[in-house]
Each structure stands twice: as structure tokens, then as C-alpha cells.
């Protein structure tokens, strides 16, 4: 059975470019972003890991720790990291998990046999500090991830965890948000002093309460 939203992210211990890592221990009280890659020294993966490294400060701002898994060994990971750092003028600061035995890939359902019996799809897992899975995305092996979207979803999840709101289609940080239907309009006026805009009884907006 595949992992679902709200499930506890399975713990594991693995060798990485930063030494032996216990997944839950590594995350601590932080959020987690777990990304899978089909293989080392592959072009799309090279651009993705380079971009992830370039966005390290953005993940740090959101208290998100990144881990990358690929079905190759640590030595290959180190050699590949040198290429990535050179190409993208960056320095990878997060662990690349060696998963030659595919233990982590299978634990997280990253290998889809009808797509490939050996290579992982491009899986994305966002995990909260309680180790609950809050987002899953699956890209085909040939399609690079959209990291603006990953950051956008993390921003949305972290916002709605703190306020009784939801985010509408194409929302970006700073845009108006939707007030939860669990709150009456009368109570919403008191809870959201920036104002309540009613489109329908079930669709009410307020300016982003975080700003």
C-alpha cells in the first residue's frame, strides 16, 4: 500500500555523503523534503540537485531539511556532487542517500515497475515536524521538478497550520486566502481584522494573516 497524506513517514538509517544518517533523528524538529532521483550522473537530476542547492537559504527560512536519495553508492554521489557544484556554482549542503539496495526507494514506493523496474520515479515528500507526510508528488523520470511549486506548497501548508484558512488556486505568498467554513462570518470578522470579503456564503476571503 502506498504512503498517504497523514501517514507517519517511515524511519530509516542509511549511508550518505554526510555519513550515516537516521532519518527521523536528522529531521529533529524541522520539516523535511525527501527527493528521489533515478540515477547518478544523469542530466535532469543534475539540474534538480543543483537547483535545490541554490535554494538552500529558502529551505532554511522555512525550517526545511532536504535529503536526496539515488540508487547508487556514496563514492558515485561524491563524484557527482563535484560536477553539480561546478555546473551550478554551488556547494551541496544536504545528504545524498546511497540506496544501492533500494531499501529506501521501496520503503517509500519510489519504484513504479510499470514505468521502470529499477529506476525511481521523481518522488517528492514533504514531512512536518511530527513526521507526518503532508505532500506527495510524483513526476516521471524524464520531467524535472518545479521547485517554485514545492516552495509554494510548503508556504501554504505552514500558513494553514497556524491560521484557520486555506489557499485558493494559483495562490502565492502575499495573496488573499480562503477562510475556513468551520468559522462563522461573525467570528471571522473578529478573527481576521484585515477584513472579510464574501463571494458566496461558503467562499470568503481575507488578506494573508501572516503578512
- Catalytic positions are 45
Sign of CA dihedral 178, 61, 93, 49: positive
**Residues 5, 136 contacting (CB under 8 angstroms):** yes
Task: Give the start-end residues of each E strand in the chain.
Answer: 13-16, 19-22, 31-37, 64-70, 96-98, 122-127, 133-139, 165-166, 177-179, 197-200, 203-206
Report the alpha-carbon distance of residue 111 to residue 36 in Å, rounded.
Answer: 10
Amino acid at each position: 500500500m502506498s504512503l498517504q497524506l497523514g501517514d507517519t513517514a517511515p524511519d530509516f538509517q542509511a549511508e550518505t555523503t554526510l555519513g550515516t544518517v537516521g532519518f527521523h533523528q536528522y529531521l529533529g524538529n524541522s520539516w523535511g523534503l525527501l527527493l528521489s532521483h533515478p540515477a547518478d550522473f544523469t542530466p535532469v537530476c543534475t539540474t534538480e540537485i543543483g537547483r535545490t542547492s541554490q535554494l538552500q537559504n529558502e529551505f532554511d527560512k522555512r525550517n526545511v531539511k532536504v535529503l536526496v536519495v539515488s540508487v547508487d553508492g556514496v563514492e558515485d554521489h561524491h563524484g557527482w556532487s563535484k560536477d553539480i557544484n561546478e555546473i551550478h556554482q554551488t556547494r551541496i549542503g544536504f545528504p545524498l542517500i546511497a540506496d544501492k539496495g533500494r531499501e529506501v526507494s521501496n520503503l517509500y514506493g519510489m519504484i513504479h515497475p510499470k514505468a521502470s523496474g529499477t529506476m525511481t520515479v521523481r518522488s517528492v515528500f514533504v514531512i512536518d515536524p511530527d513526521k507526518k507526510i503532508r505532500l506527495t508528488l510524483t513526476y516521471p523520470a524524464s520531467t524535472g521538478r518545479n521547485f517554485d511549486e514545492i516552495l509554494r506548497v510548503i508556504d501554504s501548508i505552514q500558513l494553514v497550520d497556524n491560521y484557520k484558512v486555506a489557499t485558493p488556486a494559483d495562490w502565492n505568498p502575499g495573496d488573499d486566502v480562503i477562510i475556513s467554513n468551520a468559522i462563522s462570518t461573525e467570528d471571522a470578522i473578529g478573527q481576521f481584522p484585515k477584513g472579510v470579503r464574501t463571494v458566496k456564503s461558503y467562499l470568503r476571503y481575507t488578506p494573508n494573516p501572516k503578512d
